[in-house]
Amino acid sequence: MIKRFLDLGMQPLANKYLKRPRKLDRKNNEVYHLEVMFNTKTKLVSLNKKIPVKKMFNNKYPYRSSMSKTMPKAFKKLSKNIIKRFKPKKILEIGSNDGALIQNFKKEKAVCVEPCGNLAKITKRKGFFTYSNYWNINLSKKIKRKFNFIDVIYSANTITHIENLDNVFKAITNVLSKNGVLIIEDPSLLECIKKVSYDQFYNEHIYLFSAISLRNILKKFNLEIFDVEKLSTHGGSLRYFIKRKENKSIKITKRVLEQFKEEAKYKLHKYETYLNFKYKVKLSKTKLIRILEKFKLHKKTVIGYGATAKVTTILNFCKINKKLIEYFVDTTPDKKNKYVPGTNIIVKKYDKKLINASKYIFLGAWNFKNEIFKKERNFIRRGGKFITHVPYPRII
């Protein structure tokens, strides 16, 4: 049974930055009613409305994995571990974005899949074999014909973006070698619940996995999780190491059982947990608006830092406009001088001068808090304050 638990209101597509603010068209799927649901059988948390894939991932997709220092550094470390632990002859990355991970592998050993043409171009330019296609069974057959079986398939922040999970895992098992390993990482549902980071829900995150729900999905494909790593990236993620059930040469680590236990302790398998979460989200909204309105009342300007996809959910859910947050700064070239979807708030190119001229900054990219606090230590030193909503709205 599928039960709804969170209504985040009318939302635009999170990464569709506009040149000018304008009324968005519901018929054209530019806005949709964002609700979050819980499947009592599979324990999977998902969105109610699925947006046609071409509307989300196309040649104008702005998000670039290499825009922070944190992600390329994390990917470098991971690549070393993959090489050491699994010694892949061939590695396939699903959703290779601008190559932040794959660039750590030898070109002749790597295959990229990236549906957004503007991003696929980047890895092609770097010399990596790149399919500019959506991941599905047909592509997987094509890859098998060309490269035969693949021994490591890797995918970060992509699988939860694809609606048809059946097709995703069929395509993976089609091309994964007998003793091959699938590694996927995505934001952790448990961390989202703990941090009340409801902004993890936006049109691209069709699913938010827990280890429990992923185990249930994988069963059907004779796949199982044999290891899991907790990551601090993207607000708390899980990296799952997955193998075929019949492959007995790899042992299941203790960490997997511990993860299941922890998720059970937080009752991720129970609907009540999500109702409680909904209550906390409402509180979070009220508190954040109260903080921002107080600044406005005292004629103090607040700007935003990091126009993340998550920010789109917050601003639209809390109905925050440029009276409350004047503008955002962001380093992503394709977001520059465009408006956060659904709002009249412009994104300006990151410039130290803008930070120097500010006193109060809403931390949109809260998942990069450490990196940003380090970068903006002078702002903090001279008494500048950040505002965050995670795990609860406050000034820091």
Q: What is the contact surface with ligand JHZ in residues (CB under 6 A)? A: 63, 67-68, 157, 204, 234, 306-310, 330-332, 350, 365, 367-368, 371-372, 375
Q: Between residues 95 and 393, which has the closer beta carbon with respect to ligand JHZ?
A: 95
> CB of residue 299 vs ligand JHZ: minimum separation in angstroms?
26
Tokens of 130: 């790149």
Strand order in the sheet with 338-339: 338-339, 346-349, 327-330, 302-305, 360-363, 385-388, 394-395
The token pair at 309 is 């996809």
Q: What's the rounded Cα separation, in Å, for the pair 120 and 111?
A: 11
Phi, psi of 394 (to 5 degrees): -165, 165
Residues 334 and 63: their CA atoms lie apart, in Å, by 8
Cβ at position 340, least distance to ligand JHZ in Å: 11
* Nearest partner of 209 among 239, 169, 183, judged by Cα: 239
In the complex with ligand JHZ, the residue whose CB is nearer, 194 or 375, is 375
Cβ-based nearer residue to ligand JHZ, 88 or 235: 235
Least CB distance to ligand JHZ at residue 126 (A): 19
How far apart CA 254 and CA 299 sit, in angstroms, is 54
Least distance (Å) between residue 374 CB and ligand JHZ: 9
Q: How far apart are CB 310 and ligand JHZ at their closest, in Å? A: 4
> Which are the contacts of 193, defined by CB distance < 8 A and separation ≥ 6?
266, 268, 273, 277
Q: Supply the minimum distance, in Å, between the C-beta of residue 85 and ligand JHZ.
A: 24
Cβ 330 to ligand JHZ shortest distance, Å: 4
Beta carbon nearer to ligand JHZ, 264 or 354: 354
Q: 269: buried, middle or exposed (CB in 10 Å: 19+, 13-18, 0-12)?
A: middle
Q: Which of 333, 274, 328, 334 is nearest to 303 (CA)?
A: 328
Q: For strands 150-156 and 110-113, give the pairing.
A: unpaired
Cβ-proximal residues to 36 (8 Å cutoff; 6+ apart), any chain: 4, 5, 6, 8, 45, 46, 47, 48, 201, 274
Q: Quote the least distance from Cβ 232 to ligand JHZ, whole Å.
A: 12
Q: How far apart are CA 308 and CA 330, in angstroms?
A: 9
State phi, psi for 159 to the nearest 5 degrees. Answer: -60, -40
* Least separation in angstroms between CB 121 and ligand JHZ: 17
Residue among 224, 238, 360 at smallest CA distance from 296: 360
**Burial (CB count <10 Å: 0-12, 13-18, 19+), residue 320:** buried
**Considering beta carbons, is residue 99 or 306 the nearer one to ligand JHZ?**
306
Q: How far is the CB of 36 from ligand JHZ (least distance, A)?
A: 16
Backbone torsion region of residue 281, taken as left when φ is above 0, otherwise alpha when ψ lies between -120 and 50, otherwise beta: alpha
